[in-house]
Amino acid sequence: MLQSRTWQVNEDAGVIYLTIPAFTKTGMVRHGFSTRVGGLSPSPFGMNLSISSEDDPRNVRLNYERMAYVLESYTGNMVVSAQVHGTDILRVGVMDRGKGVTIPREMEAIDGLVTDQSQVCLVTIHADCVPLFFLDPVHRAIGLAHAGWRGTLDQIGSKMVARMQSEFESKPEDLLAAIGPSIGPCCFEVGADVAEGFAARYQGQPDIVRAAGTPGKYMVDLWEANRLTLTGAGVLPDRITVTDICTCCNADIFHSYRKTRTPGRMAAFLELI
């Protein structure tokens, strides 16, 4: 069984998914991060939640229904982002419910979603990229972002904090945040151009970039990069949950594009009750 020191591993009706203890403790949200386990799609898809994959759309819909069941949510509440590894963030509400699951999705180039309305379940799609969860328990607002290496380098985490400030008057020090399961510093090997970008962005932080075993290659720590981005935006360190689960190391449980070029995708879910 998958284990974590920072995230809660859950199994229900054959579905394995993860939750954030600090978020659960508030009693304000339904949330989770899926794995590849428990879906109804045939191999290699499994629990596939990508609406743009070659998987049968009927299977994808059934997988969403399974996730809705274990999260005690409803597919008609879900709003799925339209990711391009950018930093654009969209505020959504009850009029957007179902987009990407039960009704067509018309949004384009959106890597982050925010709302302050109940029963609007934000959804982002992942296969090694970092999910970022945000909860403002004071103003009852939430945000969810997809942070690949480009989004991390362009600091979508700080842009999410700023967007929640402008939309909901959130204070960074009030926010709870979480960095979810994704490719870890053990596995994220990059070329010199990407490494140089991270070294320049996070100057004076030697743990972000280190030499890899392969000549001309480097290892980048997306978890620490996102953590530093969040603390730099004013989120308190003790209010950030950082994952210890690498999707690439656990490709039997997670869809890992880096490890297996999987056509399947996981999803992050976050909904105000």
Give the model confidence (pLDDT) of 211-251 as tens digits. Answer: 999 999 999 999 999 999 999 999 999 999 999 999 999 99
Q: What is the pLDDT of residue 204?
A: 85
pLDDT mean over 103-122: 97
* Least confident segment among 58-67, 95-104, 201-210, 238-247: 201-210
Q: What is the pLDDT of residue 195?
A: 97
Q: What is the pLDDT of residue 119?
A: 97
- Pair type for strands 266-272 and 121-126: antiparallel
Q: What is the pLDDT of residue 219?
A: 98
pTM of the model: 0.98
Structural domains in the chain, CATH included, are 8-183+222-272 (3.60.140.10), 185-220 (no CATH)
Q: Among 173, 203, 168, which Cα is nearest to 89's?
A: 168
Give the integer Cα–Cα distance in Å for 177 and 236.
9
Long-range pairs, 61-69, Cβ under 8 A, ≥24: 61/101, 61/102, 63/39, 64/101, 66/13, 66/15, 66/38, 66/39, 66/40, 67/15, 67/17, 67/32, 67/34, 67/267, 67/269, 69/12, 69/13, 69/15
